Chains A and B, each alone.
Chain A
Amino acid sequence: MAKTILIVDDSASVRQVVSIALKGAGYEVITANDGKDALSKMTGVRIHLIISDVNMPNMDGITFVAEAKKLPAYKFTPIIMLTTESQDDKKKQAQAAGAKAWVTKPFQPDQMLSAVSKLVAP
C-alpha cells in the first residue's frame, strides 16, 4: 500500500513539481492551495506525511502546522516545510509549531526524496 503525502503550496507549478518527484518514487499525492484548503482535505483521510510552503494566502504554513498538530489524527504526522524563506526566526517558528524538517527552494528532487524517506518509507 503506497503512502500518501499532502502537498500544500499556493504555487501550482511547485505543487506539480513536487508531485512528479513523489509519484516517481511510488507515493500517492494529495494537493492543497493553502493551509485552510489543506485542513479541509485532511478530514477522514489517511495522510502519512505533509509538505507545506510557509508563505501562503488565507492561512500561512506555520499557522497550518500548528492547526494540524491540534488534530488527534495528525498529532504525530511528520511535516516538512518547503519554502523560499531564508529568515532563521521563521525556521524556529516552524520547529516550535511541530515541523520535522526545513527544505529551501529550489529543491533537488533526490534531496527531497531522501528527506521524505527519512520520515516515511514509500
Chain B
Amino acid sequence: MANVVIAAVALAVGVGVGYALRSRQDPARPTGALLPPDGQAQDLTRFAGAMTPVWSAQIDSSRTQMETAVGQLTETFAGIVENLDTVLTSSSGVLDDGQGGVFARSRERLGEVVGTLDSALTGKREALAELHDLLSLNEELRQMSGEVTRIASQTNLLALNAAIEAQRIGEAGAAFGVVASEVRQLADRSQNTSVRMVEKVDKVAQAISGVLVTQEASAEHEGTAVAHAHGEVQAVLDDLMGMLSKMRESSQGLEQAAVGIRGEISESLVNLQFQDRVNQMLEHLRDNIGRFPDVAQAAATGTAPLDAQVLLDELAARYTMAEEHQAHQSGSATKVNESEITFF
C-alpha cells in the first residue's frame, strides 16, 4: 500500500520535473513558473483530475488501515497490562496471607496438638513415678509386717515362759497364768494379722507391679508416638515452608518478569505513537495532492502559471512537526526529535 502511494507521488513529481525541464529549454517562459506546452494543457488537467482522487484514496486507505491496526495493537497492550496487574495483585495477596498467616497458624495449631500429647505423656510418667513410690512404701509395709510377726513370736515365747512360771508357783501364780494366757492369745492374733497383712501387701505389690509393667510399656509406646508426631509435624512444617519458599521465588520471578514486560510495553508505547505522526503527515500530503487539479486547471486556462512553489508553500503551511519542516528543506528523511516538556 505504502509503495503504491510512494509510486504515485513519484509519478507526480516526475510529471512536474518533466515540465520544469521543458520550460528551462524555453527562455520565453517566466522564471519560477512552469507552463505546459499549449497542446498539453488540457492533457495535464485531465491527468491531474484522474490521478489525484486515486492517490488521495490510496493515502486514506493506508491511514485507515494503519489506524485500525495500531488501535487494535494498543488495545491488546492495554489488555496485557490489565491482566498482568490482575495476576500480580492476586498472586501478591495470596502470598502475603500465606507467609504472614497460614504458616504461623499451622505451626501454632500443630504445636498445640503435639503439646497436648507431651502433657499427657508427662502426666503418665508422673503417675508411674508415684506408683514406684507406692511400691517402695508397700515393701516397707512388708518389712514392718515381718517385724510385727517376730514381735508376736517373741511375745508368744515370753507369755509361754510366764505361763510355765505361773504353773510352777501354784495357787499364787493362777492370776498371772491367766494374764500370760491372754498375752499368748494376743500374740497369736497379732501373728495371724501380720500374716494376713503380708498376704495383702503381696497382692497389692503384685497389682502395682502389673500396672507398672503395663503402663511403662504404654508410656514407652506413647513416647515413641509423640517423638514420631514431633518429627511428622516438623516434616509438615518444613514441607509447608518449602512450598511457601517456592511460591515466593515464583512470585518474585513473576514480579521480575512483570517489571520486564512493563519496561518493554513502555518502550512500545513510545513507538506506537508513530501512527499519529505518520497519519498527520499523510493527511497533509493528501490535502496537498488534492490541490493539484486546481493548480493544473488554473495553468491550463492561463489564470495562473503552473508554479510548484504555490503547492509547496501550502504544504509547508500545514506542517506541525519539526521533522516535516526539516524533510521539506533538506529533501531527505530526518530523525524524529526527542520529547520535550515545558512547564509554564
To the question of whether A and B form a pair in one complex, the answer is: yes
- What is the distance, in angstroms, from B286's C-beta to the closest C-beta of chain A? 15
| A86, CB-defined interface residue at 8 Å | yes
B322 / chain A contacts, CB cutoff of 8 Å: 86
Q: Mark A78-122, 1 if CB is under 8 A from B, else 0.
A: 000001111100010001000111111111111100110010000
Rounded to whole angstroms, the CA-CA distance of A24 and B336 in the bound complex is 26
B67 / chain A contacts, CB cutoff of 8 Å: 11-13
Q: Which residues in B have some Cβ–Cβ distance to A below 8 Å?
A: 67, 70-71, 73-75, 77-78, 81-82, 85, 262, 265-266, 269-277, 279-280, 320-322, 325, 336-337, 339-344
B340 in contact with A104 (CB, 8 Å): yes
A13-45 residues with Cβ-Cβ distance < 8 A to B are 13-14, 16-17, 19-21, 23-24
| Known contacts A13-B71, A14-B276, A55-B280; A20/B340 CB under 8 A | no
A84 in contact with B343 (CB, 8 Å): no
A24 / chain B contacts, CB cutoff of 8 Å: 81, 85, 262
B81 / chain A contacts, CB cutoff of 8 Å: 20, 23-24
A20 / chain B contacts, CB cutoff of 8 Å: 74, 77-78, 81, 265, 269
- What is the distance, in angstroms, from B299's C-beta to the closest C-beta of chain A? 31
Which of the four size classes fits the interface of chain A?
35 or more
Closest to B326 in A: A86
B342 / chain A contacts, CB cutoff of 8 Å: 91, 101-103
Rounded to whole angstroms, the CA-CA distance of A107 and B337 in the bound complex is 10
Rounded to whole angstroms, the CA-CA distance of A7 and B269 in the bound complex is 16
Supply 17 A–B pairs (Cβ within 8 Å), ascending by A: A11-B276, A11-B279, A13-B70, A13-B73, A14-B276, A16-B77, A20-B74, A20-B81, A23-B82, A84-B280, A85-B321, A86-B321, A99-B344, A104-B340, A104-B341, A105-B277, A105-B339
| Known contacts A86-B321, A99-B344; A108/B280 CB under 8 A | no
B272 / chain A contacts, CB cutoff of 8 Å: 13, 17
